[in-house]
């Protein structure tokens, strides 16, 4: 019976996310983008709604991003799908063995995640990729509930400083308290830094512990300036794999 309830919980949460209208600024923006469209996608029907999480519901790896791109997830209706950041992410996940293919173009392109689940801090495309604090707070309950439902999660990879802060806030609401830095890595306080690693040995809502691993976001600005390279990004998911194998 509990397993049946869990299976129903994911679609129910996804439906609630898709119907969300909590943030007027984001509702107006996402719909305006969907109506105007980009010239290259004039013949496509844009999703134009909040985007739910995507992936393996039994995942041990959870990836938290910033928000759907205006002409990526806001167009296709799937996280990190149809934009340059998604190209980087799914190539890396494929090379690390977490995806069955290295590309993500549409919701029906055959992409499957293996032991991985992708979500975000904000479910609507925000103007200039900058959700407000209030908008992030409005979205946080969805991330909290996903973390509760993903009972096998052992590693959370946060893509960028906003995702890092959002994950810490969501875990804080679940009663985790401050994480401990891994010896020789991270800092005494949970501050964002590429490659920083933190852990909770025990969790208040389920058995087992949790690792949190920080990475730069694969945005065009970060990848085109060289702040994030593909070897650096691959190393993040290789480390995630090593942590999963350790547990």
What is the reported pTM?
0.94
State the pLDDT at residue 2: 44
State the pLDDT at residue 247: 66
How far CA 7 is from CA of 104, 110, 187, in Å, comes to 25, 21, 38
State the pLDDT at residue 190: 87
Read off the pLDDT of residues 56-107 as tens digits, 9 standing for 90 and up.
999 999 999 999 999 999 999 999 999 999 999 999 999 999 999 999 999 9
Question: Which residue, chain included where needed, has tokens 């844009």?
Answer: 46
Read off the pLDDT of residues 12-49 as tens digits, 9 standing for 90 and up.
999 999 999 999 999 999 999 999 999 999 999 999 99
Read off the pLDDT of residues 116-153 as tens digits, 9 standing for 90 and up.
999 999 999 999 999 999 999 999 999 999 999 999 99
Q: Is 246 exposed, middle or buried (0-12, 13-18, 19+ CB in 10 A)?
A: exposed
The pLDDT of 212-222, averaged and rounded, is 97
Share of the chain above pLDDT 70, in %: 94
Instruction: Find the helix packing angle between 133-149 and 2-18, rounded to 10°.
Output: 160
End-to-end CA distance of the chain: 28
Chain center to CA of 184: 26
Average pLDDT of every residue of the chain: 94
Contact between residue 93 and residue 236 where contact means Cβ atoms under 8 Å apart: no
State the pLDDT at residue 180: 85
């Amino acid at each position: 019976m509990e397993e049946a309830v869990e299976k129903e919980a994911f679609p129910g949460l996804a439906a609630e996310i898709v119907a969300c209208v909590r943030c007027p600024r984001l509702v107006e923006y996402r719909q305006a983008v969907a109506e105007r469209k980009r010239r290259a996608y004039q013949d496509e029907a844009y999703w134009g709604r909040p985007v739910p999480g995507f992936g393996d519901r039994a995942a041990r790896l959870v990836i938290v991003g910033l928000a759907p791109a205006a002409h990526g997830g806001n167009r296709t209706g799937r996280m990190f799908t149809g934009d340059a950041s998604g190209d980087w992410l799914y190539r890396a996940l494929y090379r690390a063995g977490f995806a069955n293919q290295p590309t993500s173009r549409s919701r029906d392109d055959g992409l499957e995640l293996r032991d991985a689940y992708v979500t975000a801090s904000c479910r609507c495309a925000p103007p200039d990729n900058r959700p407000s604090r209030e908008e992030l707070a409005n979205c946080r309950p969805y991330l909290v509930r996903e973390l509760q439902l993903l009972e096998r999660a052992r590693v959370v990879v946060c893509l960028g400083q906003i995702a890092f802060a959002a994950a810490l806030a969501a875990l804080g609401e679940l009663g985790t308290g401050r994480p401990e830095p891994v010896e020789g890595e991270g800092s005494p306080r949970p501050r964002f830094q590429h490659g920083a690693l933190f852990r909770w040995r025990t969790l208040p809502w389920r058995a087992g512990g949790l690792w949190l691993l920080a990475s730069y976001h694969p945005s065009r600005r970060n990848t085109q300036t060289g702040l994030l390279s593909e070897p650096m990004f691959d190393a993040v998911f290789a480390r995630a794999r090593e942590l999963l194998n350790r547990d």
